[in-house]
Structure 1
Amino acid sequence: MKIAFFSSRQYDIEIFNELNTQYDHKLEFFVPELNEKYAVLAKGHDAVCIFVNDDLNETVIAELAGYGIKAILLRCTGFNNVDFAAAKAHGIMVYRVGYYSPYSVAEYAMTLILALNRKVYKSYNRIKRGNFELEGLMGFDLHQKTVGVVGTGKIGKVFIDILKGFGCKVLAYDLFQNEDCLKAGVTYTELNQLFAESDIISLHCPLSEQNRHMINEASIELMKPGVMIINTSRGGLINTLATIEALKTGKIGSLGIDVYEEEAELFFKNLSDKIIQDDIFARLLTFPNVLISGHQAFFTKNALDDIANATLQNAKDAETQITNENSL
């Protein structure tokens, strides 16, 4: 297949080209995100390959259909940025990555917890300035702390295994209970109970219209004073304005996020010589108890290899289906 890659970075080009020797697709890489402005770049291709911040709304999908695009290949597991109804109406197949190393995101979520709790980022910056004082660096033992895990799929399950290694008590919420988690002694609760009883809350669920802004003014009110919130899933799970207010009062004691609901204008770009125009994000940066990274939780060689192989195989499957349909 002739595939147009959007939101491409050098690591995408290197890994996909390396693994494509096994599949022999024709790959073309574009830096811009796929949206109404750049959809024209898909002309002359059979499929588009997109990432988390590409916007495939009804208008974009209609334009892609006009260019003869037969398949949308997501190189991620989340698919909240694709209008599935529009794709179906235009006869465009949609494929996502069903699996990539769950250890990448799960381990990173624990990295955020440890860095926030033990103030690693603060001590690092202090010591570079010759300040070796311990004031303000006190953390707490994770042992026996209650951690609420929202979403117990592959990533959530690995994250729970890590928590168990630290001796944490784990509460979990998911629409579908994971048998492996139950066998590991995880207690499933209602979401409000998880919010109320957890010292740390970590989000590992996909974003949907039903759970958008699940962290909001009402749910924060249920939480323990000083709760730590971790989000390595999707930014839209958190109402940022409500979270800022809770950080100001101390209701939220610390926040670690690898995603942000308006990240499309910021993440995966070098803006070091520019003024950030997002005032809400800029406010988050002022808190000493907030740790932000730019959607890098997935970013391990293992995970990228898994993503590339799955995506290229999806393209092969799409090609086979198109060939079979044309032969009827």
Structure 2
Amino acid sequence: MKITFFSSKPYDKEFFDKVNKNFNFELDYFETHLGPHVLNIIDHSDAVCAFVNDKLNAEVLESLSRKGVKYIALRCAGFNNVDLEAAKRLGLRVCRVPAYSPEAVAEHAMAMILTLNRKTHKAYNRVREQNFSLNGLMGFNLYQKTIGVIGTGNIGAAFAKIAKGFGARVVAYDIRENQELKDLGMDYIPLEQLFAESDVISLHCPLTDATHHMVNKDSISKMKKNVMLINTSRGGLIDTKAVIDGLKSKHIGYLGIDVYEQEEKLFFRDLSHTIIEDDMIQRLMSFPNVLVTAHQAFFTEEALEQIATSTLTSLSHFEKAEEFENPNAVLI
């Protein structure tokens, strides 16, 4: 099987080449995003391996099908960038990585909370300039604070357990309740109640029509004054303009985002010598109480190895018409 990778980086090649020793597939890597503009570079590929910002709309899928591509492998959990109806109509099989070291993302979410709260990034820069003053660095205890978790799948559950370890009161909202978390003493409550009671809110749900812009002007107005908001899931969960307004009015006290609605034009690239034309991200980064990381929450050795293993295993199952060990890996 020949697999063409898009949005690939040196670390993707490193881990996929390592795992591929067990499969012996032909791997072809391209750093460019997948979209209508690059379809001509696909040559006799059986499968395409895509990432979070690749566009797999009906037009792209139809072109891939005409070129003989049979399989679409997403090396991520989310699949909001794929037109599944078009893929099904075209007879394309689609798989994803439903769970890859959920602790990686959960730990990054907590790292963002601690960084924003205790201002360790600011303290680091101060001390390097021989400024040992504590003025402006005051934080708050997470102990006995209320941390709201929206979405308690693998990542949300891992995060909730970490938050519980700090002695916080952990409340959750999900359309499916996790019995293990309930047994650990965590309460599921209505979403509006979670907004109203949480000192910290961490988003861990997929991007769907129902969750698009779930953080908006109306939901922000229901949140506690000075709330901390963390998003390590998908940028589209947040209405960026509404969040900027919330920061300006000081209703939102802290914001940590590892994802951004328009990130495909920014993230995974070195733009240090470029004038960024996105006024929204520039405005966000101008706030002293905002922390932005560039979709790195997943970025651990363990996660990358699991992503590569899961992706190539799924493609092997497709090729051999085998039953999947994890049915959640198959979308079509």
TM-score class normalised by the smaller sequence: over 0.9
Q: Distance in 1 between matches of 2:35 and 2:25?
A: 23
Query: Which residue matches 2:149?
Result: 149
Query: Which residue matches 1:212?
Result: 212
Query: Which residue matches 2:285?
Result: 285
Query: Which residue matches 1:267?
Result: 267
What amino acid is aligned across from residue 34 of structure 2 in structure 1?
L
* 1:31 to 2:27 alignment: no
> Deviation digits for residues 245-274 of structure 1, max 9, x if unmatched?
000010000000000000000000000000
Secondary structure at 1:297 match in 2: coil
Post-superposition offset of 1:231 = 0.4
- Counterparts of residues 196-211 of structure 1 (less than 5 Å): 196-211=196-211
Secondary structure at 1:274 match in 2: coil
- Counterparts of residues 105-144 of structure 1 (less than 5 Å): 105-144=105-144
- Counterparts of residues 11-26 of structure 1 (less than 5 Å): 11-26=11-26
Query: Which residue matches 2:58?
Result: 58
TM-score, with length taken from structure 1: 0.97
Q: Distance in 2 between matches of 1:191 and 1:145?
A: 18
What amino acid is aligned across from residue 40 of structure 2 in structure 1?
V
Q: Distance in 1 between matches of 2:249 and 2:39?
A: 44
Post-superposition offset of 1:80 = 0.4
- Counterparts of residues 95-110 of structure 1 (less than 5 Å): 95-110=95-110
Q: Aligned residues, how many?
A: 322
Q: Distance in 2 between matches of 1:297 and 1:99?
A: 14
Query: Which residue matches 1:325?
Result: none
Post-superposition offset of 1:128 = 1.8
Query: Which residue matches 2:328?
Result: none
Deviating above 6 A after TM superposition, structure 1's stretches of 4 or more consecutive aligned residues are: none
Post-superposition offset of 1:321 = 2.6
> Deviation digits for residues 225-260 of structure 1, max 9, x if unmatched?
000000000000000000000000100000000000
Secondary structure at 1:285 match in 2: helix
Query: Which residue matches 2:77?
Result: 77
Secondary structure at 2:230 match in 1: strand
> Deviation digits for residues 56-94 of structure 1, max 9, x if unmatched?
011101110110110100000100000000100110000
Secondary structure at 2:135 match in 1: coil
Query: Which residue matches 2:44?
Result: 44
Q: Distance in 2 between matches of 1:178 and 1:139?
A: 31
TM-score, with length taken from structure 2: 0.96
Q: Distance in 1 between matches of 2:249 and 2:128?
A: 30
Secondary structure at 2:321 match in 1: helix
Post-superposition offset of 1:24 = 1.0
Post-superposition offset of 1:125 = 1.5
Q: Distance in 1 between matches of 2:56 and 2:77?
A: 15
Q: Distance in 2 between matches of 1:38 and 1:321?
A: 30
Post-superposition offset of 1:43 = 2.9
Which residues of structure 2 form unaligned runs of 5+?
A: 323-332
Q: Distance in 2 between matches of 1:254 and 1:98?
A: 30
The percentage of counterpart residues that share the same residue type is 54
> Deviation digits for residues 98-140 of structure 1, max 9, x if unmatched?
2211110010000000000001111111122221111110000
Query: Which residue matches 1:91?
Result: 91
